[in-house]
Amino acid sequence: MNTDNYISGSEALMRSLIQEGVDTIFGYPGGAIMPVFDSLYDYRGKLNHILVRHEQGATHAAQGYARVSGKVGVALLTSGPGATNAITGIADAMIDSTPLIVITGQVSSALLGSDAFQETDVVGITLPITKWAYQIRSAEEIPWAIARAFYIASTGRPGAVVLDLAKDAQVNKFDYIYKKIHHIRSYQPIPDMVPGKVAEAAHLIDYAKKPLALIGQGVILGHAEEELKAFLEKADIPAAWTMLGLSAMPSDYPLNMGMLGMHGNIGPNRMTNECDLLIAIGMRFDDRVTGDLNTYAKQAKIIHFDIDPAEIDKNVKTTVAVLGDVKETLPAVTRLLNKNDHSEWKKEFKPYEDLEFEKVIKKEIYPEEGPLKMGEVVNKVSEATDHNAILVTDVGQNQMMGLRYFKFKQSRSCVTSGGLGTMGFGLPAAIGAKFGAPDRTVCLFVGDGGLQMTIQELGTIMQTDINIKIILLNNSFLGMVRQWQELFFDERYSETPMKNPNFVAIAAAYGIAGKRVDKREELQDAITEMLNHNGSYLLEVTVENKGMVYPMIPAGTCVTNIILGE
């Protein structure tokens, strides 16, 4: 026996994480995970542990880290309430295809099922919202379980994995051997590419007169940004991105026609119902993109590129499904395409672009008078960073304005909660994003409601001394709910006005510099001060309290049913 490898389960966990390339963990200690944290003490310098202030914050921070770094995010938590506090982040990661591993402590094996102190059925709770959930009851299982967890979380369509680690497994010793996993029987992360489907797709594209590509996060997850450009340029196809697809191509890319969805751009939404070929690439036809499925793109043939067979025909019936990794399937189709020119078709987007600028954009980002607007703040911050920063948003009007008016030059520059729409996501996700890309500027846009859901994570900023720029768009309302109440509930503002604290003073209590701005003539200088400040900064901007996010497609209606406001 090699005594150097005869180690406890807790030390085995540390070594296994390092074997998988982990350098950063977000977590919070507690009784049932204490042996692991004791082993972590000896691995400082090899594993950077970020002490958050709430377990939900750990999961969102790990998500932000994963989204910008391309690595698996890891959260380390205790049992009982520690585990249940992580449920929101696990669900958020799963629906947004974010590779996340959450390791929770658990009572000793002998106590399982006895309602012991801080015992909960973590596996039972998380099975519906994970790719894999497993309870480790012996130390010998730890290397195998970690290797399997990383393989499952990061391959195919990424997602969340939960490992529930019994306390006796943490302390018992065994002869440690680590083997990475590259194959699991019955698990095929990447479907086989079918040459016949590739040829069918190429044929449809060659003969389309009005093709439109819909770009989802799958392009980013598959590291296929350059392959996407080659595909679009050869066939001269206009493209639009989903919320999670933002930054897959530069904002000013000539074939980029804007954002799809409820608060997306007029052109791509309307052209969805005017194109003759719709090409979905790494996106899942979410209801916020499709609206009423009975009226969605009925005139078009549909090609769907995806790595997940479950997404094919789930919401929208496809003409041709091209399964596989887009980094391989896109070039396979591109090789078969004829060089094309769709100049006349692309010109049809211009009138809608001009209409949106006149009716919505100009009023939002270049207002001549009145209170400050969310869009103008976002636009000025983006310009001040030369469009090179990472955008992190919370959820609500701040999110939609951020996604609409922040611009991107490079991929993996947008971190937002898509499918679950989690208020409170923004602040911890921004912390994780900064650790995932320490050399980049991270700008968080958050509302007064969402910030207060995870405001304790200002303590994490204080403890780690990281540099995040927090732009609080304060309208003293739960803004998006208020917008719906105004439009669809006869302006009955039930429980949406908010009486707020002095946010700048709260930030100061955590050692974070800040300023409150409510005048347009002060905004530019305040943004400059924020960006030049060496450290985190909270810029609170008082914006119009009844601002609206337009355009807007009412939920469940046709994608051409677009409200432009007054």
**Helices marked H in 406-513:** 426-436, 448-453, 458-464, 479-488, 503-509
**With bands split at pLDDT 50, 70 and 90, how would you rate the model's confidence at 315?**
very high
Q: How far apart are CA 101 and CA 59, in angstroms?
A: 9
444 forms beta bridges with 392, 470
Of 391, 401, 400, 453, nearest in space to 422 by CA? 453
At residue 116, the pLDDT reads: 85
Share of the chain above pLDDT 90, in %: 96
Residue 334 has pLDDT above 90, yes or no: yes
At residue 97, the pLDDT reads: 98
At residue 112, the pLDDT reads: 81
For residue 308, the SS3 value is: coil
The torsion angles phi and psi of 64, rounded to 5 degrees, stand at: -60, -40
**With bands split at pLDDT 50, 70 and 90, how would you rate the model's confidence at 113?**
confident
449 in Cβ contact with 432 (< 8 Å): no
Running DSSP on this structure, what letter comes out for residue 497? Answer: B
Q: Chain-wide mean pLDDT for the chain? A: 97
Report pLDDT digits (tens) over 252-311. Answer: 999 999 999 999 999 999 999 999 999 999 999 999 999 999 999 999 999 999 999 999
87 forms beta bridges with none
168: Cα separation from own chain's centroid: 36
**With bands split at pLDDT 50, 70 and 90, how would you rate the model's confidence at 17?**
very high
Residue 119 has pLDDT above 90, yes or no: no
Residue 547 has pLDDT above 60, yes or no: yes
> Within 10 A of 524 (CB to CB), how many other CB atoms are there?
13
Which class for 18: exposed (0-12), middle (13-18), buried (19 or more C-beta within 10 A)? middle
Report pLDDT digits (tens) over 486-505. Answer: 999 999 999 999 999 999 99
Q: Which residues contact 340 (CB under 8 A, 6 or more apart)?
A: 205, 206, 234, 235, 236
Q: Which residues contact 310 (CB under 8 A, 6 or more apart)?
A: none
**With bands split at pLDDT 50, 70 and 90, how would you rate the model's confidence at 2?**
low
Mean pLDDT value across residues 105-112: 89
**Helices marked H in 127-265:** 142-154, 167-171, 195-207, 218-221, 225-235
| E strand or H helix at 132 | strand 132-136
| E strand or H helix at 58 | helix 55-69
b/e 231-256 (16+ beta carbons within 10 angstroms → b): bbebbbbbbbbbbbbbbbbbbebebb
133 forms beta bridges with 162
Residue 102 has pLDDT above 70, yes or no: yes
249 in Cβ contact with 213 (< 8 Å): no
b/e 164-196 (16+ beta carbons within 10 angstroms → b): bbbbbbbbbebebebeebeeeeeeebbbeeeee
Residue 170 has pLDDT above 60, yes or no: yes
Residue 127 has pLDDT above 60, yes or no: yes
Q: CA angle 215-318-249, nearest 5°?
A: 10
Structure tokens at 59: 């999961």
Active centre residues (catalytic): 55, 117-118, 167, 480
Structure tokens at 435: 């650790």
Q: How far apart are CA 497 and CA 478, in angstroms?
A: 7
Q: How far apart are CA 533 and CA 510, in angstroms?
A: 16
Q: How far apart are CA 464 and CA 442, in angstroms?
A: 15
Q: Which residues contact 436 (CB under 8 A, 6 or more apart)?
A: 24, 64, 65, 66, 67, 68, 69, 71
193 in Cβ contact with 324 (< 8 Å): yes
The torsion angles phi and psi of 415, rounded to 5 degrees, stand at: -125, 115
CA atoms within 13 A on the CB side of 290: 18
Of 473, 412, 474, nearest in space to 442 by CA? 412
Residue 423 has pLDDT above 60, yes or no: yes
Report pLDDT digits (tens) over 179-209. Answer: 999 999 999 999 999 999 999 999 999 999 9
Residue type, 472: L
Report pLDDT digits (tens) over 555-566. Answer: 999 999 999 987
| E strand or H helix at 27 | strand 24-27
Residue 1 has pLDDT above 80, yes or no: no
223: Cα separation from own chain's centroid: 16
At residue 3, the pLDDT reads: 72
